[in-house]
Structure 1
Amino acid sequence: MKNLLVILAFVLAMSACQTADKKSAISTPITYTVPDDSAITKAVHDAYAAISFKKGEKPRFDEIGNYFIPQAQLINFRTDTADITALPQFIDLYKHFVTDGHIEMFYEEEAFGRNEQFGKVAHRISTYNTYLNTRDSLAERGVNSFQLIKTPKGWKVSSIIWDVERKDLPVPAYYLK
């Protein structure tokens, strides 16, 4: 009986220690500062600026590649399947839309963004607004997932994956802060 009481006291003491550990882990918020936050944000904003142009101007097609690695992929989920495009193909398609007269003005801006980074790898979730041929009305809104790598020349986009807001897929308030 005496051994049973000692074991029971030990078990209760251990259980109290575990509960205290769980409580302290839950109540202590984990804070994280992205080391290259401003440089990653700038790289993404520069990529948006490179594809944007005003009415009467011509897009800076040659400049777009400066913000991406040469092997970059752009993955679009406008439909139920991923449309995967290499950077040179994307630039060619964009040129055709502009030269064929489909686009007279294109402006894309970030409405919300947040970075994550580990070493030379980064991710930016970025809610975007797109204006097409006029700044008076929003043509499209959606969410981009930018993957970036740190190169000797700074942060470059290695891929962008995006989906477009629609009636059955609204951008959640979480991405509109």
Structure 2
Amino acid sequence: MGPKTILQTVGVLLVLGLATGPASGGAQVVGGPSPAADPADVESVDAIVAAVYDVISGPAGQARAWDRWRSLFIPEARLISVGQSQEGIIQRRVMTPEDYAQRSGPVLEEMGFFEEEIGRTQEEFGPVVHLFSAYQSKRALGDPEPFARGINSFQLMHDGTRWWIVTIYWTSERPDLPIPQRYITGGSPSTR
């Protein structure tokens, strides 16, 4: 077989693999099984949202509990950050929970990071919950002003036993995109 024939054969195999992969095997599962969760972290919507903020928050030098983080998400979960480039182009970054832990973990642990909910709106239908969680971020708990604010959009599901995070989709506040007051005045669980 010559080089051209080999390339054609590889091309056909790739096309067949892509064309038959999901159809023959049903839904594709991404990632491995989640670690066992602390039941207290997944017993309610408030608990699972609080666990997210708790895991990512901590002073400089403090390791984060990434196995706890992983335990909150379905194996196929996605985290999607949307932001604006310096050129004004809206861009997205799609990650798995593991990607987030690997990319953001070292920065959170090196610089210190505290994120807290400052308001929430929530919609529910059966086992599905969508909520906007307005947040503010600080490097240290005592910082007088946050260095960032924004909205985390959580999509959650209840499987009859526990709550799971399906997606966290977020964007940060900018001078031309302030958080609407209606998302802040809803209050956080501690102020409702």
Runs of 4+ aligned residues of structure 1 deviating over 6 Å after TM superposition are: none
**2:86 counterpart of 1:78:** no
Q: 1:108 aligns with which of 112, 115, 126?
A: 115
Are 1:171 and 2:176 counterparts? no
Normalised TM-score (structure 1): 0.71
Residue deviations 1:50-103 (CA, integer Å, cap 9, x gap): 11113442211221112111211111112211111111111111233246x3x2
Partner of 1:67: 72
SS of structure 2 residue aligned to 1:81: strand
Under a length normalisation based on structure 2, what TM-score does the superposition of the two structures give? 0.65
Task: Indicate the SS of the match to 1:82.
Answer: strand
Gaps spanning 5+ residues in structure 2: where?
1-42, 85-89, 186-192
Which has more radius of gyration?
1
Given that 1:127 and 1:176 are in contact with CA atoms closer than 8 Å, whether structure 2 keeps it comes out as: yes
What count of residue pairs does the alignment treat as equivalent? 137
Contact between 2:60 and 2:108, CA under 8 Å: does it hold in 1?
no
Alignment check: 8 A CA contact 1:131 1:140 kept? yes
Alpha-carbon shift at residue 39 of structure 1 (Å): 1.6
Q: CA deviation at 1:159?
A: 0.4
Cα distance per residue 1:19-71 (max 9 Å; x no partner): xxxxxxxxxxxxxxxxxxx9212211111111111344221122111211121
Alignment partner of 2:106 out of 93, 96, 102: 96
1:50 is aligned to: 55
Letter in 2 for 1:165: E
